[in-house]
Amino acid sequence: MFDFPDHFLPPICSIQRYGEAQVCFSSRRTQGPSLYHSQKFFDWKSSYCRIPHQSLCTSINASGQQLQSEPEAHDSASIWRAISASLDAFYRFSRPHTVIGTALSIVSVSLLAVQSLSDLSPLFFTGLLQAVVAALFMNIYIVGLNQLFDIEIDKVNKPTLPLASGEYTPATGVAIVSIFAAMSFGLGWAVGSQPLFWALFISFVLGTAYSINLPYLRWKRFAVVAALCILAVRAVIVQLAFFLHIQTFVFRRPAVFTRPLLFATGFMTFFSVVIALFKDIPDIEGDRIFGIRSFSVRLGQKKVFWICVGLLEMAYSVAILMGATSTSLWSKTATIAGHSVLAAILWSSARSVDLTSKVAITSFYMFIWKLFYAEYLLIPLVR
């Protein structure tokens, strides 16, 4: 019926070994009449069709998949490493200890306007969130601008910051601070709260004048003026403006300067002076090289260190006296006990600091920020 010429028939043997299919080809030349060839062909074809293909296909697919998944896995890992590195760089650029301090201070001061549990409403939390987000955007602008104009100094004092280390170019830094300043003002304008907008605007002006290198500006070069800038933002603007944002804009109540608010403003005046003085102690080497006449450069690290500790102990003493005059028993107990514990911890920690070690001084500076956070947890308890 079919006339097949002489040819090589490829008998196939399927051998299952270690879960893999092996295909065998024979070079034996077949001979005989064409009908015989045809019959053998159909016998071979029928036999081949009964060979399980799954193992062969699975092995080939699995092998192919493995070859393709390796570069895909490598690309995926590279992408995640790039994302992780970018987030880490931005985290360091934002100076997280200042971000935490700003957020905690605004929440704490806003709670001073709460008169009853009914005030803790969605309206309050919305107004609080608007204030915190706008302030954090401005905070990133201020610390980022300072890094832009301190690149050479930070190569000595803080070489791990993204601009100093080269992870960010100056153009990237400019783009980030510009975007965050615009977002801060945009949100403040959209909210429509005058206390909030003025807090952002004054912080912007003082933060810019503190860092930017223009005639009559770059106030950080002058120790007293630099301290006043930090004091104005941390002690006055944060306490008064954000309290008034909640009191007058969110709750629609008249502006009243309460006893706890005045205490918070006075206490944070001491604390802001301490932060302004202490932040330059670890940076004395770079400040001296680049002509920044900080108190640490002028008076020496040891003297400024103990001035800072003394100021904080004075502030805690005033806070204890403030608690003693409270008419509320729970407020009196919390204020006296809380500030007594913090004062004792401060004194014990200060005595163990090695003033010849930059690492130890920097660690103690971060400890002061933790005391700053702790104070904002106590302030809402003052009544």
Q: Is the pTM of this model over 0.85?
A: no
pLDDT along the chain (383 residues), means of 10: 42 41 40 42 42 43 51 80 94 96 96 94 97 98 97 94 96 98 98 97 97 93 90 93 97 94 93 92 86 86 95 96 92 96 97 92 95 95 88
Q: Which amino acid is at 260?
A: P
Contacts of 186 (CB under 8 A, 6+ apart): none
Alpha helices in 245-357 (DSSP H): 259-278, 284-289, 295-299, 301-324, 329-351
Residue given tokens 């007293």 in the structure block: 224
Do the beta carbons of residue 79 and residue 351 sit within 8 Å?
no
Contacts of 120 (CB under 8 A, 6+ apart): 114
Cα-based distances in Å from 125 to 112, 119, 129, 250, 346: 14, 10, 6, 10, 34
Do the beta carbons of residue 234 and residue 268 sit within 8 Å?
yes
Q: Where do the domains of the chain lie, and which CATH numbers do they carry? A: 93-254 (1.10.357.140), 257-382 (no CATH)
Cα-based distances in Å from 234 to 104, 297, 353: 12, 23, 26
* Sign of torsion over alpha carbons 198, 203, 208, 210: positive
Res 297: pLDDT: 86
